[in-house]
Amino acid sequence: MPTTKRKPLVAVLDWKTAPASNSGVDLEAKVLGKGVRTKYYLIDTEADFTPEILGADALIVWQNTLITERTLEQLKRCRALIRNGVGFDSVDITAAAARKIPVCNVPDYGTEEVADHAIALTLALTRQLFPLDAEAKRPGWKLVAKDKLRRTSTLTFGVIGLGRIGTAAALRAKALGFRVVFYDPHLPNGVHKAVGIERTDSLAKLLKQSDVVSIHCPLSAETHYLIAEKELSQMKPTAYLVNTARGGIVKKKAVLAALKKGVIAGAGLDVIEDEPLKTKAEARTPNLIATCHAAFCSREGMVEMRTTSARIAKQAIQGKRLDNVVNGVS
């Protein structure tokens, strides 16, 4: 009897604790076509990887799923591992490269959304929206927050990392009247002239002059705990910290302590180290706005991200050149 030809398998791995996909793999399956098996798996850790997942031809991985060397060495036929998002710090890209497995990401899908979210957190802090909301819902108004409200044209917006999202956030802040400065040691001279903002040559200088510090750099060995006790102490006591990049860039223990002690005036954190918040005490931290690692989300952005990931998986299965490779494996 003739042997049935095996269909390639693309495994889409979502986080069981808080699934990001609201429709399984309908979009991915449409892009990949009927000649590919597209399956959806809910997992929490690498221990949840089944033999079927380990035998997939391509993996599309949502946030919070760690992929270490131990798992990479068990992948039997993986032609590409695609991080469904911008960051790829959850994947051991060096170990993947050693095994000739390309790791790809989707670097541009959420640029507008994350920049908008950073500005939304900034305005919520500088205009004290949540204290005002709480006060308006109590009988009588005392406007206890009125002395904390700020005029944007008198404030400095400091950007750490002037990549796609950092640039988009900087331009939005500039349009709102902020003076905008940035720190990014990896960019060539003259970038600030093209964008029309100012450059600082050290993180300390940016922290000391900024009224809002907005983080837009990737998480790496270089940026892990880039903002900790020392850096927070260098900020103005009236300044705000905004993080829509990666939780591990800001030391959670340090920022929560700084808020409790009044070292800084407030923080807007879409991403938090070891997220989500673990205790009621953490959640009660004063002057903290926390959102659910949702800055990247929008209907339009999710469609763009998922279809791009599926398109890269299809390139891998068809043996074509892959887009957005981050570990140098072609």
Q: Where are the alpha helices (DSSP H) in the chain?
A: 26-32, 51-54, 69-72, 93-98, 111-126, 129-136, 164-175, 191-195, 203-209, 229-234, 252-261, 280-283, 299-317
Separation of alpha carbons 125 and 166, rounded Å:
19
Let me know if 216 is a catalytic residue: no
Let me know if 275 is a catalytic residue: yes
Separation of alpha carbons 248 and 272, rounded Å:
7
Q: Are 213 and 207 in contact (CB under 8 A)?
A: yes
Read off the tokens for 328: 């140098």
Residue 213: closest CA among 231, 234, 238, 239 = 239
**Selected catalytic residue, list 275, 299, 304, 311:** 275
Question: What's the longest Cα–Cα distance across the chain?
Answer: 84
Count other C-beta atoms under 10 Å from residue 20's C-beta: 18
Q: Locate tokens 């837009």: which residue? A: 216
Separation of alpha carbons 239 and 210, rounded Å:
7
Order the strands of the 240-243 sheet from edge to edge.
198-199, 179-183, 156-160, 212-215, 240-243, 266-269, 288-290
Let me know if 293 is a catalytic residue: yes
SS3 15: strand
Q: Locate tokens 């990949």: which residue? A: 32
Q: Are 13 and 53 in contact (CB under 8 A)?
A: yes
Order the strands of the 103-104 sheet from edge to edge.
37-43, 9-15, 58-61, 80-83, 103-104
**Selected catalytic residue, list 246, 299, 304, 321:** 246
**Selected catalytic residue, list 293, 300, 306, 311:** 293
In angstroms, the Cα distances linking 200 to 182, 189, 209, 274 are: 6, 11, 10, 30
Give the active site residues.
246, 275, 293
